[in-house]
Homo-oligomer: A and B are copies of this chain.
Amino acid sequence: MNIIGVERKVRLMKSKSDIIAQDIAAKIQHHQFKAGELLPSESQLTTLYGSSRETVRKALNQLTELGLIQKIRGKGSIVLDLEKFSFPISGITSFAELNKSLKMHAVTRVVTLKKMADLPELFKEKFPEQKKQAGIYVERLRLIDDEPAVLDCDYLFSPPIDHLTKKVAEKSIYDYIENELKLDISYATKVITVEKIDEKMQKLLQLDDRLAVLIASENYLSDTTLFQLTLSFHNPSKFKFVDFARRQKIKL
């Protein structure tokens, strides 16, 4: 039995190409494949993982999207320097996941947890249909090294999210949604701006200024259900957003 046969028993529901991508990604992270060097060729990977070339290529494409490798025709796939851009945050990632993978020691304090009363102005006009929908409102303060860094204000809709405990909100709402409720979080839109904030928020974030960086996001399940709106107020001096981007072939 080859590598994949073994892996597949453990991680159910993952495709062969996902497993190959995951495996190569891990080897890049652990410097088994080093930055600047070439990956084994596609035909070598084909025999290594016991799969067809197209499957290997699908895996490599994922790594290309992520910015882990760059493919060059006639040469091979070069491993890019992950260290250099201390880790893209792009993609939907929960604070708990970030905290874990970046090894920050961060703490989450639940400020508010109650039934949703009303949407904020920002979302009201855009989502008139959600206006009357039931939901949960959560306010959470994120502390990094004991200093307030972010205030997250989440509007979770019921359905699909009917209940929420303080404990879950402290740990990871995304973990709860995916692993308990078995919902399939799929995509999000984010808008980053700089906004004036009120005094209450200024105190919470312990800011000198009345300005904060706001990330407003809309989060959707794979069936296109809107399940969450978030206003994320960041302490400007601690704010950092890292992104990896590829040039679009398709012009809109």
- Interface residues in chain A, defined as those with a beta carbon under 8 Å from any beta carbon in chain B: 14, 18, 21-22, 25, 29, 54, 62-63, 65-67, 70, 72, 78, 80, 84-85, 87-88, 90-93, 97, 101, 126, 185-194, 209, 211, 213, 218, 220, 222-224, 236-237, 239-252
Asked, given contacts A187-B246, A189-B85, whether A222 binds B70 with beta carbons under 8 Å apart, the answer is: yes
Across the interface, name the chain B residue whose C-beta is closest to A63.
B250
Query: How many identical chains are in the complex?
Result: 2
Residues of chain B within 8 A (CB-CB) of A190 are 242-245
Residues of chain B within 8 A (CB-CB) of A14 are 249
Residues of chain B within 8 A (CB-CB) of A92 are 245-248
Residue from B66, B90, B101 in contact with A245 in the complex, judged by beta carbons closer than 8 Å: B90
Is A67 touching B187 in the complex (CB atoms < 8 A)? yes
Is B80 touching A224 in the complex (CB atoms < 8 A)? yes
Residues of chain B within 8 A (CB-CB) of A192 are 192, 239-243
Is A242 touching B187 in the complex (CB atoms < 8 A)? no
Is B80 touching A244 in the complex (CB atoms < 8 A)? no
Interchain CA distance A38-B241 in the complex, whole Å = 34
Is B240 touching A211 in the complex (CB atoms < 8 A)? no
